[in-house]
Structure formats: C-alpha cells, structure tokens
C-alpha cells in the first residue's frame, strides 16, 4: 500500500505534519495557554500569533524506573573495585527543582516554548464556538455543495445504471439489426415453396443478436453544484454615552473586536451592521464604530428603534438569520427602559435568531438590566452576561457563543 508523507517545510525547517501532530497531542495545554495569553492583549494585538509555554511535566513521557530495594545483577565492564556477590546500596532519588528555587541538589527542565501563528491561534480559540440556531433561509449567500442529476452517460459504475434507458437502447439496437431479417422471415414462412434452409439461416442470425449489449448500457450522471443555504447579519450595538468612560469603552471595543474576528474566521459572507448610540443612534462604518469620540446622554431605545427599522427595510426575517450583540453599562433614562423591553418583545426578539447583551460593570445593575432579565425568562433566544473587568471579556464571549451539544 502506498503512503504519502508530507515533508513541506515551515519556518526553520519544521515539518508541517509533525507540527500538526504536536498541536493535536497537547491540545489541552495549548488551549489553556491561549486562553491565558489572550487576557493580556490590547485591541491592536488581539488577532496576532502567540509564543506560549507548555510546562515541562506535561511533555514528559511515562517510563519505568527501578524502585527502592530489590536485587539486581549487572555486569560492569572495566570494574576493578567490586567482586561478584558484593552488595551496593541504591542511590536515593533526589527531588527535581525548577527555575527560581535555590537548592544544592536535584535538577529540572525549563518549560517548552512553542510559537503559534495567527491562523493557528484563532483556530484554537474559536474552534468550539458558533452562532446559535443558524437556520436555512432562501436566497442566501452561504453556499453549499449539493449533488444533482445531470442526465445519462455511456460509462459509469454499476450502481448508477439507468435500467429504463439501457433497455430502451437495447430494444432500438435489436430493431435496427434484426428488423429486416424478421420481415424476410415472415414472408418466407408465408410462402410454402421457399427453401427451408434460408429460414434456418435467418433464425440462426437472429439468435446471435444479444438481448442486451455493453453498448446499450446507460448510467445516471451526477454533478455537484453550489446552492445557497443561508445568509446572516450581525447587528453590533454599542453605548457611547457619557457614563461609558474610557475603561468601559475599552472593554466594549475588545468584545466587539473579538466578535468581528470570530465572524470573519468562521463565516465567509456574514454581513455586519454597526450602530452607535447615546441619546440618538446612527448606523456607522467599522472605522467610526471603533474610533469615533462622539458622546452624549443615554436613550437605549434609539438604538433598538433603528435596529427594528433596518430589519424591516433591509433584512426581513423571512430571508435572513438575524443576530444582535449589545454592549452597555446599563445606565439608561428610567422611563426609557420599559419601552426598550416592549420594543424587544414585540418587534425584535420574535424575528431574530439570537440576542446577546453584555453589561459592563462595576456599577450596580439598574432598570435596563431588570427589564432585560424579564425578557430572558420569556425568550430562549435572549442571553445576558456581566463583565466586571478586562480579564472576563473572553470567558463571557465564550459563554455567549459556545457550541451547543446535542
């Protein structure tokens, strides 16, 4: 049996196959190191590769070593001290000491440092995440390969034989080859004076015409075509009011950048709509969403009204999988929070796949959070989480978009 070994080099003469095997073998340790490393990143380096360390103890292979006591006979070449039958005390095993521990005995191994490139880093971090409840819609941009019938052909596999077409070809061949002979035979059999030898010759020729021949066989032909299966849009709503100080905006931006990377890594044609709001909301481009310095008061319903209008005008739920991610510190005009609850329950949540709300603390929860909690009890496609500091961004993100197990 032939075997193909991939010897393509990567980096400093590293084997791609060995690299993939190493990542697969130490997936647990690498994943933990990736999660720890990403907590220390800023906005500009979220998507970069990473140099991670794997503890030496996780790289050690299991092995058998002699225990205390026992009798072992060995031959030591060049020995001029011991005689056969001498008893030698076994040296006690010294404890291993790692880096940073002063000791006059023992030895240790430095942690193994491994470089992950950008693609490997994002692949490991996003591998068990997904958009919840992504269902099929008409006229989609996400394409899939579907096998369809494409007529018949003269060659193929036995399992694809088209019996009807093959029999039709066989009948036509037999008619073309034996039609004239059958007419002649019919006339000869009606004429009693004809020589019977000619009749026997014709019957012999007709018997040699096969019922079905290889040339008659026809096979079903199949081809793969691209078919649209679904399309999706993600609305990103960010509160930029005066209560959102720089620390809170930094957390919100990190969350949305992580969402942006996740969507572009896992979904090729998903559309993104960015909405910033204070007392008024407006649709903006990516650059303005992340870097604009505009601020003001807080009326959350302005963003939800704009969201509902865009859904009705450009993204009807009949054809689109609609997702929403909202980040806010929860500060809102008290009279506006019940209206937000009404907008969500009547015009938004019944028509979308998933709504994720992130409240950035450390302020205490206010009326907006309480209204949203009521929605979470009524609608299964609504989820809310709280972020207290930068280190919680990634754990909250994974919780909101974790892959559902069947």
pLDDT tens digits, 329-369: 988 888 899 999 999 999 999 999 999 999 998 667 888 89
The residues of the chain scoring below 50 in pLDDT are 12-13, 43-44, 95-100, 138-140
Phi, psi (5° rounding) for residue 385? -140, 160
**DSSP letter at 405?**
P
Q: Which two tokens stand for residue 207?
A: 């018997």
Q: Is 228 exposed, middle or buried (0-12, 13-18, 19+ CB in 10 A)?
A: middle
Those residues whose C-beta lies under 8 Å from the C-beta of residue 317, and which sit 6 or more positions away, are: 311, 351, 352
- Angle at the Cα of 163 from the Cα atoms of 160 and 165, rounded to 5 degrees: 100
CA 116 to CA 118: how far, in whole Å? 7
The whole model's pTM is what?
A: 0.56
Q: How many other C-beta atoms are found inside a 10 Å radius of the C-beta of residue 235?
A: 24
Buried b / exposed e across 192-217, counting CB within 10 Å, b at 16+? eeeeeeeeeebeeeeeeeeeeeeebb
Q: Which residues pair with 50 in a beta bridge?
A: 116
Q: How many other C-beta atoms are found inside a 10 Å radius of the C-beta of residue 267?
A: 17
pLDDT of residue 17: 56
pLDDT of residue 105: 55
Q: Which residue in this structure is represented by tokens 């510190």?
A: 329
User: What's the distance, Cα to Cα, between the start and end of the chain in Å?
Assistant: 38
52-62 pLDDT, tens per residue? 666 666 666 66
Helical pair 118-126 and 246-266, crossing angle rounded to 10 deg: 90
Asked if the bond preceding 335 is cis, omega within 30° of 0, the reply is no
């Amino acid at each position: 049996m032939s075997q193909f070994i991939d010897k393509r080099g990567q980096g400093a003469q590293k084997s791609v196959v060995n690299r993939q095997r190493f990542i697969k073998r130490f997936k647990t340790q690498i994943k933990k190191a990736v999660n720890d490393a990403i907590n220390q990143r800023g906005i500009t380096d979220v998507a970069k590769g990473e140099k991670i360390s794997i503890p030496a103890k996780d790289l050690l292979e299991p092995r058998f070593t002699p225990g205390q006591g026992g009798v072992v006979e060995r031959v030591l070449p060049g020995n001029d001290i011991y005689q056969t039958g001498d008893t030698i005390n076994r040296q006690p095993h010294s404890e291993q000491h790692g880096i940073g521990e002063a000791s006059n005995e023992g030895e240790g191994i430095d942690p193994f440092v491994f470089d992950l490139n950008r693609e490997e880093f994002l692949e490991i971090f996003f591998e068990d995440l997904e958009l919840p409840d992504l269902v099929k819609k008409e006229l989609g941009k996400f394409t899939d390969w579907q096998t369809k019938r494409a007529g018949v052909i003269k060659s193929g596999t036995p399992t694809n034989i088209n019996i009807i077409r093959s029999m039709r070809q066989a009948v036509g061949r037999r008619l073309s080859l034996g039609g004239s002979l059958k007419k002649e035979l019919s006339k000869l059999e009606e004429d009693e004076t004809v020589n019977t030898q000619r009749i026997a010759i014709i019957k012999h020729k007709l018997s040699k015409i096969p019922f079905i021949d290889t040339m008659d066989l026809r096979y079903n032909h199949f081809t793969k075509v691209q078919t649209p299966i679904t399309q999706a849009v993600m609305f990103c709503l960010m509160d930029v009011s005066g209560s959102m100080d720089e620390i809170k905006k930094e957390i919100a931006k990190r969350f949305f950048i992580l969402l942006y990377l996740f969507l572009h890594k896992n979904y090729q044609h998903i559309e993104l709509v960015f909405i910033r709001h204070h007392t008024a909301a407006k649709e903006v481009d990516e650059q303005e969403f992340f870097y604009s310095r505009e601020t003001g008061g807080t009326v959350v319903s302005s963003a939800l009204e704009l969201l509902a209008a865009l859904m009705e005008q450009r993204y009807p739920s009949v054809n689109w999988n609609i997702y929403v991610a909202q980040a806010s510190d929860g500060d809102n005009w008290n009279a506006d929070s019940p209206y937000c609850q009404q907008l969500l329950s009547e015009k938004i949540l019944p028509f979308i796949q998933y709504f994720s709300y992130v409240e950035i603390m450390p302020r205490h929860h206010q009326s907006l959070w309480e209204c949203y909690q009521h929605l979470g009890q009524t609608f299964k496609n609504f989820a809310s989480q709280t972020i207290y500091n930068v280190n919680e961004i990634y754990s909250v993100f994974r919780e909101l978009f974790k892959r559902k197990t069947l």
